[in-house]
Chain A
Amino acid sequence: METLSFEFPAGQPPKGRALVGCVGSGDLEVLLEPGTPGTLNIQVQTSVNGAQLRWQHLFERIFQEHTPPALNIDIHDFGATPGVVRLRLEQGFEEIGHD
């Protein structure tokens, strides 16, 4: 088990919080909470060791498309594929936007 931290530039914090995803093999659980304006903080707890760079590249690809809101994101990863991580993050952003 490894805990990884990431920081990215962000916009304004949203009002709500959201919990998406699921505890179980090949999936992940994502908790999104309002953060400090201008900053997106991500903590990843993962069962797959040695994947810091893989996460860094994945987040960079996702956030270069549009600036994310200012959030503190907690991820519990259970060996999800990059495709699943992306879907879960999109789902989380969507849920936060609905409040």
Chain B
Amino acid sequence: MNAHDLLWGMAPAQLPADAPAWAVEAISAGHPVVVRRALVAPGHVAVGVRGRLREQRFATVMPLAQVTRRVVPEALGAVVLPRDLPALRALEHLRPLLGQHAWGVAGSAGFELATGIEALHAHSDLDLILRSPERLERGDAQRLLAVLDTAVCAVDLQLQTPFGAVALREWAGRSRRVLLKTCGGAQLVADPWQAVA
């Protein structure tokens, strides 16, 4: 189970009593939840429920035994949807250019590609992930970013290192320290491929 995986099988009864009505609605409608980075009790996974509005995100946990289906971001790169939106056009454009990488689609684009539920709009970014078990040199990061920036909308690619996630845009930049999102929270680190103390 990794951050950005989509999971089906959560039941409304598993939501805490303080869950907002829109979250109960989304789960009742059978929408999947999104795996997030957080430390939780064994046998559970940290997930987020998505609502229709941008500020509608509800963090909770799901028992692993309830998972009936799992879709990983890598499975969504090849999905084609008929809607004409910048994020989907950007995906079409980048698909052949990213071919040999272990990449996938996350965020609203990933959610819509996996479910067919309209989550994207005209101003949505395209959220991508790239599995990066080996260190990506900063020069290579700049070259990859230049490719992504040829797309028709903003593309936010998160490098998934063994220790967390870092934004390609930031790693390609000049900052000495970059933000690494880990299960224990976010940290500023000099090297995202080194274990965080």
Number of residue pairs A-B, CB distance < 8 angstroms: 45
**Could you list 26 examples of A-B contacts with CB < 8 Å?**
A21-B170, A21-B179, A22-B170, A22-B179, A23-B169, A24-B125, A24-B158, A25-B125, A25-B127, A26-B181, A27-B167, A27-B179, A47-B54, A48-B54, A49-B55, A50-B55, A79-B55, A83-B186, A84-B179, A87-B179, A87-B186, A87-B188, A88-B179, A90-B188, A91-B175, A91-B177
Interface set, chain A 83-99, CB cutoff 8 A to B: 83-84, 87-88, 90-91
- Please report the total number of B residues contacting A with Cβ < 8 Å: 21
**Cβ of A20 under 8 Å from chain B:** yes
- Please report the total number of A residues contacting B with Cβ < 8 Å: 20
**Cβ of B92 under 8 Å from chain A:** no
**Cβ of A36 under 8 Å from chain B:** no
A87 to B154 alpha-carbon distance, docked (Å):
24
Which residues of chain B come closer than 8 Å to A47, judged between CB atoms? 54
Which residues of chain A come closer than 8 Å to B55, judged between CB atoms? 48-50, 79
Which residues of chain B come closer than 8 Å to A21, judged between CB atoms? 170, 179
**Cβ of B185 under 8 Å from chain A:** yes
**Residue in B154, B170, B177, B186 with the greatest tally of chain A CB atoms within 10 Å:** B186
Q: In the complex, what's the smallest C-beta–C-beta distance from B59 to chain A, in angstroms?
A: 10
B186 touches A24 (CB 8 A): no
Q: In the complex, what's the smallest C-beta–C-beta distance from A40 to chain B, in angstroms?
A: 22
Q: In the complex, what's the smallest C-beta–C-beta distance from B31 to chain A, in angstroms?
A: 19
> What per-residue 1/0 map shows which CB atoms of A62-99 lie under 8 Å from chain B?
00000000000000000101011001101100000000
Q: Please report A residues at the B interface, Cβ cutoff 8 Å.
A: 20-27, 47-50, 79, 81, 83-84, 87-88, 90-91
**Cβ of B107 under 8 Å from chain A:** yes
A91 to B185 alpha-carbon distance, docked (Å):
16
A47 to B170 alpha-carbon distance, docked (Å):
20
Smallest CB gap from B106: residue in A: A25
Known: A21-B170, A81-B186. 11 other contacts (CB 8 A): A22-B173, A23-B154, A23-B156, A23-B169, A24-B125, A25-B156, A48-B54, A79-B55, A84-B186, A87-B179, A90-B188
B127 touches A87 (CB 8 A): no
Interface set, chain B 147-174, CB cutoff 8 A to A: 154, 156, 158, 167, 169-170, 173
Which residues of chain B come closer than 8 Å to A79, judged between CB atoms? 54-55, 57
**Cβ of B28 under 8 Å from chain A:** no
